């Protein structure tokens, strides 16, 4: 795709990992190991002030010591170090950062002050941020696995964008078992800087992305988000889970990522207007991902059902009507074709009962 201002996040030529480590199961160890094992095609630099080597690679005490341009940094160090690291990165000309570290606005006033400081530093040097408090970012086609997920994603054409790192992990585990691949996996975390709208703007023009799955707890910039969502849904299928539908869930979302939630009926109406599909459960999101992975994108509301018994067919038809779907009428040609494969006493209508 052409030059996009988020290319340093999604297509970096060089990556440095702050906090890269040999300490087993530390976040920095997992992130750097993932980058090595993913086969990242650009330059990769571990930054560790205490060690001269990390996982068999030369380590650098500071980013300035690298002496080469770095487009993207991944930060997995204690929260109080992050604003200073962003300052160092700005002086080095870094364009983007993925901040995995937690302990900012989601924990209270002290963390919020740190978050404001790191954002001020980033804006001073025009560094774009994903996170903090996130799982990280994956672009399987270029070997970029800047996450602390224990495992990689297969290459595919579905983009996953989520405020929950744990949900990303669950979906990635399921996807591996079901041969579903991804063009991008973006864990947004607290979305201090880059927001859902900007990610959608990138993905809608990404030729490797054919459809988009989203998990949303709350929106910071509703106008930008809905505008980007409308533009994306016109071109690619967008399926999302929006949680916080009830007061208890809204409170949990606030404590998780410090996100603004809102009246659920307002979100429902807005999603319907822009043409996205809202699902209510992760299981439904899995089902949607599986369907999208086959490249089948329905354009209408007519449905044909194939069942192995009359009862299940009736139940499915009832549910289809509940959802506003229309049971399609089978054409004479379709009935003729099915006659070649089904018992003589099949009902010759929709639902198609294959009779065991």
Query: 186: part of which helix (H) or strand (E)?
Result: strand 182-187
pLDDT tens for each residue of 264-279: 778 888 888 898 989 9
- For the beta carbon of residue 186, count every other beta carbon within 10 angstroms: 29
Please, is 330 exposed, middle or buried when counting C-beta atoms within 10 Å of its C-beta (0-12, 13-18, 19+)?
middle
User: 276: which DSSP letter?
Assistant: P
Q: Which of 259, 211, 249, 209 is nearest to 233 (CA)?
A: 211
Number of helical (H) and strand (E) elements in the chain, helices listed first: 12, 18
Is residue 297 within 8 Å of 203, Cβ to Cβ? Answer: no
Q: What is the pLDDT of residue 1?
A: 64
Q: What's the Rg (C-alpha) of the chain?
A: 23
Instruction: Name the superfamily (CATH) of residues 1-134.
Output: NAD(P)-binding Rossmann-like Domain (3.40.50.720)
Handedness of CA 280, 282, 287, 293 (dihedral sign): positive
Alpha carbon of 68 to those of 16, 43, 60, 142: distances in Å? Answer: 11, 9, 12, 20
Nearest to 97 by CA among 83, 86, 111: 86
* Residues paired with residue 211 on neighbouring β-strands, in sequence order: 158
Q: What is the mean pLDDT of residues 19-26?
A: 97
pLDDT at 356 over 70: no
Domains 1-134 and 153-299 share a fold: yes
Q: Give me the residue spans of the domains in the chain.
A: 1-134, 153-299, 302-353
pLDDT digit string, tens, across residues 76-105: 999 999 999 999 999 999 999 999 999 999
Confidence category of residue 254, pLDDT binned at 50, 70, 90: very low
Q: Do 240 and 271 meet the contact criterion of CB atoms below 8 Å apart? A: yes
Architecture of domain 153-299: 3-Layer(aba) Sandwich (3.40)
> What pairing do the DSSP bridges indicate for beta strands 144-147 and 136-139?
antiparallel
SS (H, E, C) 299-348: CCCEECCEECCHHHHHHHHHHHHHCCCEECCCCHHHHHHHHCCCCCCCCC
* pLDDT tens string 125-165: 999 999 999 999 999 999 999 999 999 999 999 999 999 99
pLDDT of residue 355: 81
């Amino acid at each position: 795709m052409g030059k996009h201002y988020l290319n340093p996040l999604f297509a970096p030529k060089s990556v440095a990992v702050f906090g890269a480590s040999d300490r087993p199961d530390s976040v920095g160890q997992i992130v750097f190991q993932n980058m090595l094992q993913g086969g990242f095609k650009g330059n990769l630099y571990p930054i560790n002030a205490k060690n001269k080597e990390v996982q068999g690679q030369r380590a650098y005490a500071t980013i300035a010591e690298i002496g080469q341009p770095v487009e993207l940094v991944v930060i997995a160090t204690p929260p109080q170090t992050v604003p200073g690291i962003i300052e160092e990165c700005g002086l080095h000309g870094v364009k983007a950062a993925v901040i995995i570290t937690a302990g900012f606005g989601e924990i209270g006033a002290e963390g919020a002050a740190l978050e404001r400081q790191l954002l001020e530093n980033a804006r001073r040097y025009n560094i774009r941020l994903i996170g903090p408090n996130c799982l990280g970012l994956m672009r399987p086609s270029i070997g970029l696995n800047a996450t602390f997920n224990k495992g990689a994603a297969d290459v595919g054409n579905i983009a996953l964008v989520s405020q929950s790192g744990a949900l990303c992990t669950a979906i990635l585990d399921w996807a591996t078992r079901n041969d579903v691949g991804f063009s991008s996996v973006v864990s947004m975390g607290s979305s201090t800087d880059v927001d859902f709208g900007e990610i959608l703007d990138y993905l809608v023009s990404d030729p490797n992305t054919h459809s988009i799955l989203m998990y949303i707890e709350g929106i910071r910039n509703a106008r930008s988000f809905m505008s980007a969502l409308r533009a994306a849904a016109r071109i690619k299928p967008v399926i999302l889970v929006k949680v916080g539908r009830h007061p208890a869930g809204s409170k949990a979302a606030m404590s998780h990522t410090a996100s603004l939630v809102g009246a659920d009926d307002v979100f429902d109406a807005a999603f319907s207007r822009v043409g996205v599909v809202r699902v209510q459960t992760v299981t439904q999101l899995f089902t949607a991902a599986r369907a999208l992975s086959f490249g089948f994108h329905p354009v209408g509301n007519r449905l044909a059902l194939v069942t192995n018994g009359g009862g299940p067919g009736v139940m499915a038809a009832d549910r289809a009507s509940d959802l506003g779907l229309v049971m399609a009428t089978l054409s004479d040609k379709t009935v003729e074709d099915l006659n070649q494969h089904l018992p003589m006493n099949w009902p010759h209508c929709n639902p198609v009962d294959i009779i065991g």
